[in-house]
Structure 1
């Protein structure tokens, strides 16, 4: 591809990606941002490449479902057995010719006991990969090497590596992008020079100052259409942020997951319940026999008198007594709160009085959901007006949260801070065509959200306006 540098490209904001021609090429492939790792001597084919201390810090890098790996890791040494998780990546090396060559064995390896996530298999069975830069017998321990990762919107990640003596490596060592853990993040299109946080605050300021807003959702052509569903508070906020509802488990706005939570007054918001994630169970009776039989076995007749309807609801916290209507209790299995040790086969379980597992969420399942949206999150209070027409407005005091380590989530489960709060029902339960609604959700009270992150701060989005 020739030189990736243009004359004068090193000038200006640190957040402007200095490799201009490479940036254009990556943008043409569909990349919106670039993540740069300045490689350490132990970032090589033997030790793998260190990317983060926790998988939740890598929400920007697309990968497959998290899986549990059995057996002993060579990294652990001395025959110790511990939890290891992995997620496959569609990693493709960018050749000088512009061709993309897939590394078929690339994956993220997660070592919770070491608080490490490493990139592995990025050279295996890929002759086009720059093996010499990572081979410890050649240049694999050389300081000054640089790795560029560009996530694409189709789920691939493009990789380019530069030797320490190259102009590209020198430029990437001297230009600091926006910090993203140990990585440096650069925007490629439209917003160069602005941090993702400043962009988010600016947009939330505009939405707050707009006052009451009609419920809308964003169309593909950029226009708004009326929203009539029950979740229009979140959809309306996302629409005004320029986010289309697409059901993808990915961060919403420039890497930030934006969550609204309803309050009675945005001027004096009080404690409210925040839905963290809505994963379906991965095991137990629920999976083996199906959700309908689950509700029929442990559900109860509607408490407001609606006929021919079964509900399954309530609040379930670790260590609490069984629910009075369902008889089920929540247990966190495979996590030692004192030592922080995780059993890879563990999970969150709903148990009945005979210890039958009614439903289970494995640690790999929970990790998979938690990692995708919670590296950086913004919690925005919202208020609903019901008369004469439904409208929403959004508060100025926004909680910004970063560093959502999986161990913090498990600690919150153990302490009962994060709880299961389902909303499932079967309507026309006695008919030939019963209507089942699934809704498994884990929630937290707004005043306890800071315990899930390493760093939180309350920001008034109108300051500096």
Structure 2
């Protein structure tokens, strides 16, 4: 086929400025790329990472469990899938949906692959992925534009294109796992870590600041709740409420931990996430029945109120008030391997499952929020108007993997600490409050990451 007849021929001549302009015209706020090996083609899935948590910058759908037959061995394998809203751009910059695009995690290897990215698309760059054409060439580049919504727009660059040559000539770029990060037009190439440290140092030097938050229009407004330390820091960083659970700042999850003195931060309790159960009596019969069955009378004497509280750790005795104990099913502590159909459960004395969190449910939360995390010490004013100040000694966690989370649960480092209550409990209009929390001491945070360290934000940028 002559080049002029090839619908993908335009990609051989596209410049990097044109690529970035097309992506930005489609709402892109961050650009990731991957250099493709020879075996990345329409028949093979594209390797992206070893764990879903390493792809937190890519907005993806709910993690679901599936069973499939291995092409290589013919055996049944359980995998996790997460849908993507992926669109290929044509030469005019118009997006065309790839409705079958998804991430697939194979926990037995482990590896995460991009699958179904051409199927069902009206205008995919097929010639660059077809093994009968150019799908076996090395040094093609897959470029992914991530927007503020859930959409990802994509372009495949052949190795001879000016855009591909410029990307390779200006390497190394900031790394994000197995992917690279490209600066947008008009944006200086900058290390996301150093940018974050610069902001945290600036905020530290502000000293005491009023309690604030960002409203939906991005305006700073007063925050009057008792736990506004996180809202205030996010408002100072320019982070709006994150409806899609994506990393907060340049790919980093920002977590605040309350301490009594930010200059000498002590250990504190950190809430990792608050996932609602996915099974057990909590789901089958509803939260009201769950509380009436396992709750206890409020210990402070507040009338007509039942609570489900306390600390629950795996391999520990049942809570004396609720009679519930925490059990993990499907995790092998000797190998760190886990069964995809496994779960963490609250069980009663008769071994009934009161509440359960499937591994798929937990992974769905873990994948987006903890790949890279910065834990910032915060101190609250004890008098006058509500104010906060933030420390410069930042605890960092990098390389979160789901198996490390499961191991920390098994060891009792991560524990379940609910704040569930039912007011007007004896009436026909009870008022339940849901609050399922998995928490950890700041001293045990390093167990959740392949790399953990404490840095001085101001020294990082001055050095």
TM-score of the superposed pair, with normalisation by structure 1: 0.93
Q: Secondary structure of 2:194's match?
A: helix
- The aligned runs of 1:62-461 (5 Å cut-off) are 62-74=59-71, 77-176=72-171, 177-188=173-184, 191-461=187-457
Structure 1's consecutive aligned runs of 4 or more residues displaced over 4 angstroms after TM superposition are none
Distance 1:165 1:188 in 2: 22
Question: Deviations 1:20-59 (Å, cap 9, x if unpaired)?
Answer: 1221221121111110100011222222101111100111
**What is aligned with 1:22?**
19
Q: Secondary structure of 1:37's match?
A: strand
Of residues 333-342 and 57-66 in structure 1, the stretch that sits farther from structure 2 once superposed is: 333-342
Of residues 132-141 and 369-378 in structure 1, the stretch that sits farther from structure 2 once superposed is: 132-141
Distance 2:80 2:427 in 1: 44
Contact 2:150 2:244 in 1 (8 A): no
Distance 2:431 2:383 in 1: 31
Displacement of 1:262: 0.7
Question: Deviations 1:372-401 (Å, cap 9, x if unpaired)?
Answer: 111111100111112122211111100122
Distance 1:341 1:382 in 2: 36
Question: Deviations 1:418-462 (Å, cap 9, x if unpaired)?
Answer: 111111111222234322111001011101111111112211012
Q: Secondary structure of 2:345's match?
A: strand
Displacement of 1:134: 1.7
- The aligned runs of 1:24-63 (5 Å cut-off) are 24-63=21-60
Number of corresponding residues: 450
Contact 1:370 1:406 in 2 (8 A): yes
Of residues 190-199 and 55-64 in structure 1, the stretch that sits farther from structure 2 once superposed is: 190-199
Distance 2:453 2:169 in 1: 30
Contact 1:56 1:405 in 2 (8 A): yes
Displacement of 1:203: 0.9
Task: Structure 1 unaligned segments of length 5 or more: list them.
Answer: 6-18
Of residues 166-175 and 340-349 in structure 1, the stretch that sits farther from structure 2 once superposed is: 166-175
Contact 1:263 1:270 in 2 (8 A): yes
Distance 1:220 1:437 in 2: 25
Task: Structure 2 unaligned segments of length 5 or more: list them.
Answer: 1-9
Displacement of 1:191: 4.3
Question: Deviations 1:149-173 (Å, cap 9, x if unpaired)?
Answer: 1112221111100122222222222
Q: Secondary structure of 1:345's match?
A: strand
Distance 2:337 2:165 in 1: 41
Distance 2:450 2:281 in 1: 36
**What is aligned with 2:7?**
none
Of residues 443-452 and 222-231 in structure 1, the stretch that sits farther from structure 2 once superposed is: 222-231
Of residues 316-325 and 23-32 in structure 1, the stretch that sits farther from structure 2 once superposed is: 23-32
Contact 1:285 1:357 in 2 (8 A): yes
Q: Secondary structure of 1:319's match?
A: coil
Distance 1:69 1:122 in 2: 18
Displacement of 1:194: 1.6
Distance 1:89 1:323 in 2: 41
Q: Secondary structure of 2:163's match?
A: helix
**What is aligned with 2:5?**
none
Distance 2:253 2:267 in 1: 20
Question: Deviations 1:349-386 (Å, cap 9, x if unpaired)?
Answer: 11111111111111111110000111111100111112
